[in-house]
Amino acid sequence: MADTTIVEESTETNIFGESINVDAAISVEELATMMATADSVPATVKATATDVCAKKGCWMKVAMNDSTEMRITFKDYGFFVPKDIAGKQIVFEGFAKKEITSVEDLKHFAEDGGQSPEEIAKITEPEEAITFEATGVVIM
């Protein structure tokens, strides 16, 4: 019998990017603990999507344990996720890193997320946060 913990690349609508082992997933709290002492770590993470790029599905966000959100982008812009996955459980694999996001990029992400011009105008400072570049995503 085949190992069912490995998710293979397929045409199913809930698998995007490279194959990942969903059983190896850690929580966002565990990732935050790992990132407290590192600048970058490889990880497979299970979380709930809180927001998705409304234009293309080219990024998504998950809630962290400290009331902040972590933005997940996709390696080499190689795949996108459906735009309607907010609220769904996801597992994603790749690399987490600490990063400073410029005001220009934050405004671009806000526009893609469907925020109003007034909300976008309030973005005036760069943001230091944990970001994630995923090589694969599974929507549970």
Compute the mean pLDDT over every residue in the chain, rounded to the nearest whole number: 88
The string of pLDDT tens digits covering residues 33-70 is 999 999 999 999 999 999 999 889 999 999 987 678 99
d(CA 55, CA 59): 10
pLDDT on residue 63: 92
d(CA 17, CA 132): 14
pLDDT on residue 1: 37
pLDDT on residue 12: 52
The residue type at 83: K
In this prediction, residues 98-115 reach a mean pLDDT of 89
**Would you place residue 117 in the very low, low, confident or very high pLDDT band (cuts 50, 70, 90)?**
very high
17 neighbors 75 (Cβ within 8 angstroms): yes
Judged by average pLDDT, the poorest of 11-15, 54-58, 74-78, 96-100 is 11-15
Is pLDDT of 8 > 60? no
pLDDT on residue 67: 77
Domains of the chain: residue spans and CATH: 20-100+128-139 (2.40.50.200)
Q: Hey, what are 63's tokens?
A: 């809630």
In this prediction, residues 56-85 reach a mean pLDDT of 92
Is pLDDT of 27 > 80? yes
The residues with which 129 forms a beta bridge, in sequence order, are: 99
Task: Report the sign of the C-alpha dihedral through residues 127, 132, 138, 140, in that order.
Answer: negative
Is pLDDT of 80 > 90? yes
Which of 102, 85, 101 has its CA nearest to residue 137?
85
